[in-house]
Amino acid sequence: MRVASLVLVAACTAEPAAPAWQPLITKSWMLAPGGENTSDTYFMELEHDVYVAGIRPIAPPGTHHTLLGRAITGSILYASGVGTNELLFPPGVGLKLTAGTLLGLQLHIFNVTDQPLGGTSGVEVLVVQPEDVVEETELMLAGPLDLTLPPGQTTVTGTCTLTRPQTIFALFPHMHQMGTHFKTTVTTGGTTRVLHDAPYAFNEQAFLSLEPMPLAMGDVITSECTWTNPTTTTVMWGESSTTEMCFSIVYRYPLLGGIFCDDANP
């Protein structure tokens, strides 16, 4: 039986504490050679208020992706992949995690070696004072949910039409092992702006910081993904490393709720 190790560090001092990185939620795991665990979710109820101005993964080898969210509202707080960097939020923007919030941590673990593999994965946060967080942020996944990738090269484009005003300030392009190129554009007021257009590397999945960009209802986020399928079989959408995804994952504020493209959550 594998037991979740969930850690929250919170301190009360007479004077405001300096920002400090602290583990928020972690899970220890062990996999047999070639083993994969794609979607188990682990829950923790916060005992203290936590105010967050930055976030980063705890991701030893074998950690394919990490997904952290509010279990009750379904809003996503964080996502990471292989090689994801730390992200600092713009001044005044962050996460307000109040006592009693039920957090859900989803880990996708994949052991590609021929030996047993274990570790502790999770999320740690940069803790600040309550007055430092004015706007609450969340993640939204913009991209197609239905993929069919035959052998060879395939490019798929998906659009997300926004139904509510919001401001985005970070982008996390996400595909799996067959991804070769990723492009994200935003069309606002009839003008299209390229946010990212570059080769994709599964082992270098970085958050890209953006100047905060206000978007209006009707604006469109477009994700264009290219894969090379070296197998003789068709690959479909899925959470496993042997399937594929195409998501322009963006940090936005204010807090709106929902997970996938905004036009699916009016």
pLDDT for 29 equals 94
> Range of 238's domain?
140-264
pLDDT for 263 equals 65
* Span 106-123, pLDDT tens digits: 999 999 999 999 999 999
Residues 197 and 231 in one domain: yes
pLDDT for 204 equals 93
Average confidence (pLDDT) over 34-55: 92
Please report whether residue 14 resides in a domain: no
Q: Across the chain, what does the average pLDDT equal?
A: 91
Average confidence (pLDDT) over 86-93: 98
pLDDT for 264 equals 57
Residues 167 and 236 in one domain: yes
Last residue of a domain, one of 106, 136, 166: 136
pLDDT value at 149 more than 90: yes
pLDDT for 240 equals 82
Residues 27 and 98 in one domain: yes
Residues 128 and 162 in one domain: no
CA distance 249 to 80: 10
Closest to 203 (Cα-Cα) out of 62, 107, 56 = 62
| Long-range Cβ contact pairs of 91-94 (< 8 A, separation 24 or more) | 92/132, 92/133, 92/134, 92/135, 93/53, 93/133, 93/134, 93/135, 93/137, 93/169, 93/212, 93/253, 94/51, 94/52, 94/53, 94/128, 94/132, 94/133, 94/135, 94/136, 94/137
This prediction's pTM = 0.86
Confidence tier at 48 by pLDDT (50, 70, 90): very high
Residues 212 and 244 in one domain: yes
* Span 204-250, pLDDT tens digits: 999 999 999 999 999 999 999 999 999 999 999 998 878 999 999 99
* Phi and psi angles of residue 69, each rounded to the nearest 5 degrees, phi first: -150, 175
pLDDT value at 6 more than 90: no
Question: Where residue 76 sits, what CATH number does that domain have?
Answer: 2.60.120.230
Residues 146 and 238 in one domain: yes
Last residue of a domain, one of 89, 119, 136: 136
Please report whether residue 10 resides in a domain: no
Please report whether residue 3 resides in a domain: no
Q: Is the peptide bond before 254 cis (omega within 30 degrees of 0)?
A: yes
Residues 163 and 124 in one domain: no
Q: How many domains does the chain have?
A: 2
Residues 53 and 104 in one domain: yes
Closest to 95 (Cα-Cα) out of 65, 64, 124 = 124
pLDDT for 1 equals 29
CA distance 133 to 135: 6
Average confidence (pLDDT) over 241-264: 88
pLDDT for 18 equals 82
